Structure 1
Amino acid sequence: MIKINDLVVAYGGIEALKGISLEVPSGKIVTLVGANGAGKSTTLKSIVGLVKPKSGSIDFEGTDLTKLNTELMVKKGIALVPEGRRVFADLTVLENLKIGAYTRKDTKGIEEDLEKVYSLFPRLKERTWQLSGTLSGGEQQMLAIGRALMSRPKLIMMDEPSLGLAPIVVKELFGIIKRINEEGMTVLLIEQNANAALKIADIGYIMETGRITLSGSGKELLSNDEIKKAYLGEAL
């Protein structure tokens, strides 16, 4: 679905991405794992056009994403759940969800998708008329995911969805991400929480200082001694 080839991104004279290549096959969960500052978010920003690469290519189903703006990407079927959730605090849960469907005109389809989101996140239905800024962190993350789903994307990208959440909430959230994928959604997951991300990922990439240093299935990477020591806090 997405193929990134030899991507280089520089901020001034400093290269944040040093020729990375990766693939996100249709129907899979792919995770990009690494420490803060490894280049994960820069990769995501490159895909959505917030950062222009110095060289390399980003292909989405035959379209060069480096030539599209954000609205065209939404129409192509790409949705982003940004780091820090970024819900509209002064709007209700329902208003936030409807903003996710702003490019759509099919009123009946929008209503159907609202019910799908509410079935995934029953707590959001209970809080339909509540101001989003008064939700808990976990509920705001659920809302951010639900808002992204309202555009009916082919690919949903999530930037650090576990950030600042309690372990029990992270477990619940990643279970829902797995369910979304099982219902046909392709997922690109950017995470520092390697354990949670690799447990649900079909494919994982390990990123360090702007380079992909290791890749494999989620299961393979979870059992890798180097990964255990560096990211899972386990002594060899």
Structure 2
Amino acid sequence: MLKIRDLNVHYGGIHALKGISIDVPENKIVTLIGANGAGKSTTLRSIIGLVKSSSGSIEYNGKEIANKRTKNIVSNGIVLVPEGRRVFPNLTVEENLTLGAYIRKDKKAIKEDMEWVYELFPRLKERLWQKAGTMSGGEQQMLAVARALMTKPKLLMMDEPSLGLAPLIVKDIFDIIKEIHRQGVTILLIEQNAKAALEVADYGYVLETGSIVLQGEGMELLSNDEVQKAYLGE
């Protein structure tokens, strides 16, 4: 589905991504783990067109999308849930979800997807008319994911979905990630909670200062001594 080959990104004089290559097969969960500043968010921002790559290739379903317009990339089925949630605080839950479907014209299907989202997130249905800015961090994260789903993504990219959330809420978020995947959405996940990410991932990549230093199946990386020492505190 998504193939990244030899991708390089520079910020001014900083070489943020150093020739990384990543595969995200259809119907899989792939995770990128690594410390702050490793290049994880830059990778997602490059895929969605928010950061220009210096060289390399990003192919989605056989078509080159590197440095294309973000709107066109989203229209093709790739959506990013950004770090820090970024909900519209002065709009209600329903208004945030409606904005998620802004590129769609199929009103009947939008209504059906709204009901699907409320089944996934019953808490949001209870808060239809609540302004997003008055919700808890966990509820805002659920809203950010639900809003992205309203775009009808084929590939859902998530940047630190558990950041700053209580452990119980983190469990809820990962349960929802597994359910979204079960319903046919491919997921590319960035997480500092390496244990939680690798437990749900089919495949994982470890990024360090812009380079991939390890890769393998999720459970394989979870039991890797280097990964345990560096990211799991063991």
Partner of 2:204: 204
Q: Who is 1:191 aligned against?
A: 191
| CA distance in structure 2 between the aligned counterparts of 1:208 and 1:68, rounded to whole angstroms | 26
Match of 2:35 in 1: 35
**Alignment partners' CA distance in 2, 1:72 and 1:32:** 24
1:14 aligned onto 2:6: no
Q: SS at the partner of 1:68?
A: coil
Number of residue equivalences? 234
Residues 23-73 of structure 1, C-alpha deviations (whole Å, 9 max, x = no match) = 000000000000000000111111011111111000001221124211111
Q: Distance in 2 between matches of 1:42 and 1:54?
A: 12
* Per-residue deviation, 1:13: 2.1
Of residues 66-75 and 216-225 in structure 1, the stretch that sits farther from structure 2 once superposed is 66-75
CA distance in 2, matches of 1:13, 1:83: 24
Question: C-alpha separation between the residues in 2 aligned to 1:120 and 1:17?
Answer: 35
Partner Cα distance (2:136, 2:63) in 1: 38
1:169–1:34 CA distance, 2 compared to 1 (3 A): same
1:178-197 residue CA offsets vs partner (Å, 9 max, x unmatched) = 11001110000011110110
Give yes or no for contact 2:90–2:133 (8 Å, CA) kept in 1.
Answer: yes
Matches within 5 A, 1:84-163: 84-163=84-163
Q: Distance in 1 between matches of 2:67 and 2:16?
A: 20
Following the alignment from structure 2 to structure 1, what is the Cα–Cα distance between the partners of residues 65 and 43?
12
Q: Which moved more, 1:62-71 or 1:27-36?
A: 62-71
TM-score by length of 1: 0.98
> Structure 1: how far apart are the matches of 2:67 and 2:55?
13
The question of whether the paired residues in 1 share the 8 Å contact of 2:110 and 2:150 is answered with: yes
Q: Indicate yes or no: 2:22 matched with 1:5.
A: no
After TM superposition, give the deviation of residue 171 of structure 1 in Å: 0.8
In structure 2, runs of 5+ residues without a counterpart are none
Q: What percentage of residue pairs aligned between the two structures are identical?
A: 68
Letter in 2 for 1:36: N
Task: Write the distance in 2 (CA, Å) between the matches of 1:46 and 1:200.
Answer: 24
Are 1:214 and 2:219 counterparts? Answer: no
Partner of 2:52: 52
- Gaps (5+ residues) in structure 1? none
